[in-house]
Every structure is written in structure tokens, then in C-alpha cells.
Amino acid sequence: MSEHISKQFDAELEEIRSQVMGMAGLVEEQVRQSMQALASGDMGTINHVLEEENRVNEMHVLLDDMCIHMIARRQPAASDLRMVMTVIKAVEDLERIGDKATRICKRAKNIYEAGRLQVPRFNELNHIAEHALDMLSRALDAFARMDAVTATDVKRADERLDDEYRALQRQLITVMMEDPRAITITLEIQWIAKAIERIGDLAVSIAEQVIYLVKGQDVRHKNQEEVDRVALS
């Protein structure tokens, strides 16, 4: 009987992991499409991303419900409990990343409905988005493979993202000073840049949860040296 219960538990855990990766793939695609929409102004892509928000929200609720029922029925302990808690936190971060993609599309819609044909500093903005997406992809890969070392690389990459974000903010301020007519669209770009920077932060949050899952130590608020030490221990 205990072996049967154990197999059921493992199957439920694997189903939860599979659902998380499905949600992660959907959210990653939302972010990619939101940047494509900003580049092209394609309203079909914009509306598609906005509609996908409902699917992401539904998956968030579903996974929360699955985790709560697993805790109530199975009473997991040790590493199994860490897995369930990691999933609960990770899907919340994924849902928030989906919200950022939606925000990017809403700003893109504002820009193109106002008749703007060019986006100031788009190349720099897109570069930051690619960096944030790479961080997210590596964080999700670390979760899938339970790889604490890859997760530390994500946290390390956040410093570079922050530097690039601050540099872009300075450039956008210069654009507004040189051409007051560009203030409105430049403010939209600043909001988009902030959303992208937050996607990087949320990728770091997922990576930190992976380290907690694998090593059993909470590395939030620890510096990079401390995080490396935990991951390599």
C-alpha cells in the first residue's frame, strides 16, 4: 500500500512540474510576442498577447489548487514539501511576468494608436529584453533540471541587466531634453523598460527558489558570494 501511495505521489508531483513548465512556456512566448508587437505595431499580435493573459491566470489558479490539495492529502515533508512550496512561489512569479508582457503590449498599443512610426531607442530596449528573456529561460531550465549552479548564474546576470537599464534611462532622459515633442512616447518607453527590468528580477526570484529547492537554504537577500557558496556546497 505504501509503495502504491508513493507512486501516486510521485505521479502527482510530476504532473505539477509538467504544468509549471507548460505555464512557463506560455509566459516566455508572451514576452517574446510583446516585444515583436512593439517592433511591428501589429494589432493582431498585441491582442493575442492580451487574450493569453486569461490562460496564464487560469493556469496560476489551477497550479495553486493542485499544490494546496497535495499538501492537504499527502502532507509532504522535506524535499517534497520544498518542491510544492517552490512551485507555489514560482507560478506567482510567472503570472507576474505575464502581467509585464501584457503591460508592454498595452503601451505598444498606445504608441501605435497615436500614429508613431518609430520607437526611440528600440534597439537598446530590445537588447535589454533579450537579456531578461535569457535570464528567464535559464531560470526555468534550472528549475527543470534542479540545477543550483545555473540558478546562481541567473542571479549574477541581474547586475548587468540593471546596468543596461540605468544606461537606457539616461539615454531616454536625453531624448526628452533634446526634443520635448518626444516626451509622451519616451515616457511610454520608460514604462516598458521598467517592465522588462522587473521580468529580470522575477527570473532571479525563480532562480533563488531553485537554489532553495535543491540545497534547502534560503538565499534571498544574500550577496553573490554567499549564493555561490551555497550552490556549490
pLDDT, tens digit, 9 for 90 and up, residues 74-120: 888 888 889 999 999 999 999 999 999 999 999 999 888 887 667 77
Look at residue 2 in the predicted model and tell me its pLDDT.
52
Look at residue 5 in the predicted model and tell me its pLDDT.
57
Instruction: Give residues with Cβ within 8 angstroms of 74, minimum separation 6.
Output: 9, 12, 80
Look at residue 7 in the predicted model and tell me its pLDDT.
81
Look at residue 113 in the predicted model and tell me its pLDDT.
86
Look at residue 26 in the predicted model and tell me its pLDDT.
96
User: Of 13, 11, 45, whose CA–CA distance to 30 is shortest?
Assistant: 45
Cell of 121: 531607442
Please give the CATH superfamily to which domain 2-232 belongs: Phosphate transport system protein phou homolog 2; domain 2 (1.20.58.220)
Domains in the chain: boundaries: 2-232
User: How many whole angstroms from its chain centre is CA 178?
Assistant: 34
Q: How confident is the model at residue 1 (pLDDT cuts 50, 70, 90)?
A: very low
pLDDT in tens, 191-233: 999 999 999 999 999 999 999 999 999 999 999 999 999 999 9
Cell of 134: 535569457
Region 171-179: mean pLDDT is 93
pLDDT in tens, 6-36: 788 888 889 999 999 999 999 999 999 999 9
* pTM for the whole structure: 0.92
Cell of 95: 503570472
Look at residue 76 in the predicted model and tell me its pLDDT.
86
Look at residue 75 in the predicted model and tell me its pLDDT.
86
